[in-house]
Chain A
Amino acid sequence: MTRSMEDYLKAVHKISREEEVASTTKISKALRVAPASVTEMLKKLAEKDYVKYSPYHGTTLTKKGLKIAEKTARKHRLLERFLHDVLKIDKIKVHEQACEMEHTLSDDAEESLCRFLKHPDSCPDDGKIIPPCDLKISSCAECVQLHKRGLEEVGKHKQNLISINKLKDGQFGKISFIRGGHKVLQRLLDMGLTPGTRISVLRVAPLGGPVVLAVRSSKLAIGKGIAKKVFVEIEE
């Protein structure tokens, strides 16, 4: 699949949605190429089973071709969102840039981009719908879940934070940020260590042992491995 093939499929897709079949003339206009070259390319694509081509009735996409056209459109629109929302490039300019980038964007990068942008559903310049991904999942939530297994965190990163295992007996701190798996995070939150909570360290066990915190008038022992991931702002 070459770059121009993708462009052809995209064009056919766009035109055939408006008027059922795409005539060679329309395609040649849309892509700004000579009708003769269009015919030649359409024959090539028909051979590879991407389009159904007949010289007089025009061209339609096969299932295989449709898939590629949608994928390219999806990459294009996600990239537009990225260029506009994140890089703050002007709306008028994003289309052209995205046209260049869409062909080199890998599927993995497309998937990550979608998650990073929190699954946008339309593109910024003309509000077209971004086609759904072809992953075997039933919802975006699932996609996020699948990729959440690594690190998770709650709270805010700030400057000069210190993890509670570094605090000394009797020092105070305000919970700023906790890193860890969902299970541990939930457990810590349940025990009252929500962001913004004031804690004090009552005891640090020797030999890399746990720490005892005073939190919400209860005492909580936390193993060193977890304590390392709880970050506080020190208070006097």
Chain B
Amino acid sequence: MSCHSESIEKSNNRKNGEKLTIALAGNANVGKSVIFNQLTGSNQIIGNWPGKTVDRAEGSLCFENYEISVIDLPGIYSFSTFSLEEVVSREYIAKEKPDVVINVLDASVLERNLFFTLQLIEMNAPLVLCLNQIDIAKKKGMIIDKQKLEKALGVPVVLTIATRGEGLYELIESAVKVATENTKRKKINYHNDLETRIEKLTQLIETEKIDLEYPSRWIAIKLLEGDTEIVKLVKSKSAKIVDISYILSQELSTIHDEPCFSIVASERYAYASMITSSAMKQNEVKNTFSEKLDWVTTHKVFGYFIAIGVITGLLLWTFIVGDFLSGLISEGLSFIEPLDPQVSGPIVSVIWNGVFNGFVAGVTLVIPFVIPFYFLLAMIEDSGILTRVAFMMDSVMHKIGLHGKALIPLILGYGCSVPAIHSCKIMESRRERLLAAFAITFVPCAARTLVILGLVGVFLGPIWALTLYAVDLILIFLLGRIAMKVVPGKSTGLIMEMHSFKVPSLSVVSKQTWTRTKSIIFMVFPIYIIGSAIVQALYALDLLTPISNAMSPLTVTWLGLPAITGILLILGVVRKEFILLGAVAVFGTTNLLGPFSPVQLITLALVAMLYIPCLSTIIILIKEFGWKAATSISIANIISAIIIGGLAYRLLEIIL
């Protein structure tokens, strides 16, 4: 629905190009993104909410004479202050006051979705209800009476099947109507005990005239719920209101023998349930295909097979597709300029070689590893398989203080740490994101795999390479457990909706792949190019030798490696493959068994695997978690590499 599609010319008193803002709000996985993509096409800007690590998607379309900008709010279930997404959404709706909010609902889970709708009504947002996935609801034997629903809520309702574009025209039409006409809003009355207190408090808020951007009734409800942020906000203006709200909520607690936030939630659900039972008819249906698939994927035997199959599939996909494409691209690009780091000759040529190598590093990371990986991930995410895998793997992940969902970023880590850490967003608490990111820094990414294979696999056989992988897995587990004990806070358990299975929508999958890839490109490329040029120039100018000499007590005495590895390890900070490529360049031979003993090769590979996140990983750690966390993780990496490397060296000396 872009500017070029047919738009109905209506006599309209508004002038051409009138601007409107529409916000899309609703639960997670109800098809909001599909609708957003269908509406805005390619006119999208994806970024972050200011100061928050929450994705913000904004797009635009033209409809009739209106220039409409569409904001896709994050998928949430409620307006509490317990997640950033919820805070972002409620602040947006209250402060930016979009002309209309389209509340997208999963028609097959009407009651639960209406719980959120009621909160939007409490916020006094101008609303249009979009009952999406009406086809899935029909398959489940649910018949929804649109008129009854409209009457009960006092809000226009549009039925849609967004994946097929059905109903979207009516949706926009209806949204524009709500935005431009002064529609009368119906008030939702909760039961008497609660309602009288809400009203009392609302009146008090209005007579006190505290100037807040939120509607009074909503504030009253939030005060009764004891929402910490709202309580704080109101207290700064009028302590009296807070005190009275406290007394009122105590009264309610005494009457119902429940904490007040529970009373309010129960009341909303009672209302939602009442509406649902009057507006929806449920017919008996046979087991659908989705149900059968659900049965298999969560089965105690088959479920594990499928979960392990999905994980292995993702890994194989990275290695096979990634390796193949990466080799192809490197070969193609090596015709232009040699890909081994050039460390001697005129300085300009060294820098140029560095720049080129950095560029190649970026290209060979993004195209072969990142894009296919993101694509497959988005597929299993959108289809609903991912939640089943997370469900099956939850108990294992708990051992390192994470829950099932954390498995996904960890698997991604075998491809590249950067997108892996970026995808830690799927977890709720910062602590879990941090723990997962920490674990990811120890997962051998494609570049480190190259080093392991190039140093150990080639010269000592695949058994040793596999041993290193196994050792790494044990280390991830042990270090993960230590981190779990060290990082303050408790693990939150898993509370996750299991959506119905669906055929992934290509538009959503490719859009998601591209959005994620784009943010990686913008971050990784400059770092690769600049970093690689600088390090190579430093090396060529012989500025790295003093550093490597200073490191020699560590590298030579403790780790038993040649002094020159100090330089290799510095090169490796920019790009892990440089440890291998650098060794080849420095020693001028492809047979590394000469300059290194077998023990040294294994030790170097082990250290390379653990010692520090590469530059782009550090950057994304800073971006997601701040300087402090990024530094702590890097230092933890260095310390573990030193300890484990030194121990391994001594142990291997005895064995070999």
Q: CB within 8 Å of B: which residues of A?
A: 118, 138-141, 145, 152, 154-156, 182-192, 194-197, 202-203, 205-210, 212, 215-226
With A208-B395, A210-B394: A221-B496 Cβ-Cβ less than 8 Å: yes
A-B contact pairs, 14 of them (CB 8 A): A139-B239, A139-B246, A152-B259, A186-B265, A191-B497, A205-B298, A205-B303, A205-B391, A206-B300, A210-B494, A212-B498, A215-B112, A221-B390, A225-B398
In the complex, are the beta carbons of B496 and A139 less than 8 A apart?
A: no
- Assembly CA distance A215 to B112 (angstroms): 9
CB contacts (< 8 Å) of A221 on chain B: these are: 387, 390-391, 394, 404, 494-498
- Assembly CA distance A156 to B115 (angstroms): 23
In the complex, are the beta carbons of A154 and B82 less than 8 A apart?
A: no
Contacting chain A: which of B103-111, B127-135, B560-568, B627-635? B103-111
CB contacts (< 8 Å) of B294 on chain A: these are: 219
- Cβ of B510 under 8 Å from chain A: no
In the complex, are the beta carbons of A184 and B110 less than 8 A apart?
A: no
Top 4 closest A-B pairs, CB basis? A223-B493, A223-B494, A189-B265, A190-B78
With A190-B265, A195-B266: A207-B395 Cβ-Cβ less than 8 Å: yes
CB contacts (< 8 Å) of B44 on chain A: these are: none
Given contacts A216-B269, A217-B110, list 7 more A-B pairs with CB under 8 A: A139-B242, A186-B82, A192-B115, A212-B498, A221-B494, A221-B497, A222-B494
CB contacts (< 8 Å) of A186 on chain B: these are: 78, 80, 82, 261, 265
CB contacts (< 8 Å) of A208 on chain B: these are: 395
In the complex, are the beta carbons of B112 and A194 less than 8 A apart?
A: no
How close is B168's CB to chain A, nearest CB, in angstroms? 25
In the complex, are the beta carbons of A155 and B258 less than 8 A apart?
A: yes
Kindly supply a per-residue 1/0 record for chain B positions 384-428, scoring 1 wherever the CB is within 8 Å of any chain A CB and 0 otherwise.
000100111011101000011000000000000000000000000
With A156-B257, A195-B258, A195-B262: A141-B242 Cβ-Cβ less than 8 Å: yes
Give B428's nearest chain A residue, CB to CB.
Answer: A187
In the complex, are the beta carbons of B109 and A209 less than 8 A apart?
A: no
- Assembly CA distance A36 to B110 (angstroms): 82
CB-contact partner of A194 in B257, B262, B300, B398, under 8 A? B262
Kindly supply a per-residue 1/0 record for chain B positions 89-119, scoring 1 wherever the CB is within 8 Å of any chain A CB and 0 otherwise.
0000000000000000000111110010000
- Assembly CA distance A130 to B522 (angstroms): 65
How close is A176's CB to chain B, nearest CB, in angstroms? 12
- Assembly CA distance A140 to B250 (angstroms): 11
CB contacts (< 8 Å) of B298 on chain A: these are: 202-203, 205, 212
- Cβ of B542 under 8 Å from chain A: no
How close is A154's CB to chain B, nearest CB, in angstroms? 4
- Assembly CA distance A225 to B493 (angstroms): 6
With A154-B262, A205-B392: A216-B243 Cβ-Cβ less than 8 Å: no
- Assembly CA distance A116 to B80 (angstroms): 27
With A192-B111, A209-B392, A209-B394: A154-B259 Cβ-Cβ less than 8 Å: yes
- Assembly CA distance A227 to B404 (angstroms): 15
CB contacts (< 8 Å) of B115 on chain A: these are: 190, 192
Give A189's nearest chain B residue, CB to CB.
Answer: B265
CB contacts (< 8 Å) of B387 on chain A: these are: 221
In the complex, are the beta carbons of B395 and A220 less than 8 A apart?
A: no
In the complex, are the beta carbons of B498 and A191 less than 8 A apart?
A: no
In the complex, are the beta carbons of B300 and A226 less than 8 A apart?
A: no
- Assembly CA distance A217 to B111 (angstroms): 8
CB contacts (< 8 Å) of A152 on chain B: these are: 259
CB contacts (< 8 Å) of A145 on chain B: these are: 226, 228
- Assembly CA distance A199 to B269 (angstroms): 14
In the complex, are the beta carbons of B394 and A205 less than 8 A apart?
A: yes
With A183-B82, A186-B78, A208-B395: A222-B243 Cβ-Cβ less than 8 Å: no
CB contacts (< 8 Å) of B82 on chain A: these are: 183, 186-187
- Cβ of B492 under 8 Å from chain A: yes
With A141-B242, A192-B111, A206-B300: A183-B262 Cβ-Cβ less than 8 Å: no
- Cβ of B469 under 8 Å from chain A: no
- Cβ of B579 under 8 Å from chain A: no
With A206-B300, A220-B496: A141-B392 Cβ-Cβ less than 8 Å: no
In the complex, are the beta carbons of B495 and A187 less than 8 A apart?
A: yes
How close is A29's CB to chain B, nearest CB, in angstroms? 40
- Assembly CA distance A138 to B228 (angstroms): 15
- Cβ of B273 under 8 Å from chain A: yes
Q: Which positions 109-161 of chain B face chain A at CB distance < 8 Å?
A: 109-112, 115, 140, 142
CB contacts (< 8 Å) of B243 on chain A: these are: 139-141
CB-contact partner of B300 in A138, A192, A205, A212, under 8 A? A205
In the complex, are the beta carbons of B392 and A183 less than 8 A apart?
A: no
CB contacts (< 8 Å) of B77 on chain A: these are: 187, 190-191
CB contacts (< 8 Å) of B496 on chain A: these are: 220-221
CB contacts (< 8 Å) of B257 on chain A: these are: 156
How close is B631's CB to chain A, nearest CB, in angstroms? 29
In the complex, are the beta carbons of A141 and B498 less than 8 A apart?
A: no
Kindly supply a per-residue 1/0 record for chain B positions 267-305, scoring 1 wherever the CB is within 8 Å of any chain A CB and 0 otherwise.
001000100000000000000000000100010100100
- Cβ of B231 under 8 Å from chain A: yes
How close is A143's CB to chain B, nearest CB, in angstroms? 10
CB contacts (< 8 Å) of B112 on chain A: these are: 191-192, 215-218
CB contacts (< 8 Å) of B269 on chain A: these are: 192, 194, 197, 216
- Assembly CA distance A147 to B55 (angstroms): 36
In the complex, are the beta carbons of B110 and A220 less than 8 A apart?
A: no
CB-contact partner of B80 in A138, A190, A192, A225, under 8 A? A190
- Assembly CA distance A140 to B246 (angstroms): 8
CB contacts (< 8 Å) of A185 on chain B: these are: 259, 261-262
With A208-B395, A218-B112: A223-B262 Cβ-Cβ less than 8 Å: no
Most chain A Cβ neighbours within 10 Å, of B231, B390, B493: B493
In the complex, are the beta carbons of B395 and A212 less than 8 A apart?
A: no
CB-contact partner of B231 in A141, A187, A215, under 8 A? A141
Most chain A Cβ neighbours within 10 Å, of B246, B265, B499: B265
In the complex, are the beta carbons of B266 and A194 less than 8 A apart?
A: yes
- Assembly CA distance A145 to B303 (angstroms): 43
How close is A137's CB to chain B, nearest CB, in angstroms? 12
How close is B235's CB to chain A, nearest CB, in angstroms? 8
In the complex, are the beta carbons of B250 and A118 less than 8 A apart?
A: yes
CB contacts (< 8 Å) of A222 on chain B: these are: 493-495
CB contacts (< 8 Å) of A187 on chain B: these are: 77-78, 82, 495
In the complex, are the beta carbons of A183 and B492 less than 8 A apart?
A: yes
How close is B501's CB to chain A, nearest CB, in angstroms? 11
How close is A229's CB to chain B, nearest CB, in angstroms? 9
CB contacts (< 8 Å) of A215 on chain B: these are: 112
How close is B277's CB to chain A, nearest CB, in angstroms? 11
In the complex, are the beta carbons of A210 and B492 less than 8 A apart?
A: no
In the complex, are the beta carbons of B265 and A226 less than 8 A apart?
A: no
CB contacts (< 8 Å) of B254 on chain A: these are: 118
In the complex, are the beta carbons of A218 and B261 less than 8 A apart?
A: no
In the complex, are the beta carbons of A209 and B493 less than 8 A apart?
A: no
CB-contact partner of B495 in A140, A206, A220, under 8 A? A220
How close is B146's CB to chain A, nearest CB, in angstroms? 18
- Assembly CA distance A155 to B226 (angstroms): 18
CB contacts (< 8 Å) of A155 on chain B: these are: 258, 262
In the complex, are the beta carbons of A217 and B78 less than 8 A apart?
A: no
How close is A2's CB to chain B, nearest CB, in angstroms? 37
Kindly supply a per-residue 1/0 record for chain B positions 454-495, scoring 1 wherever the CB is within 8 Å of any chain A CB and 0 otherwise.
000000000000000000000000000000000000011111
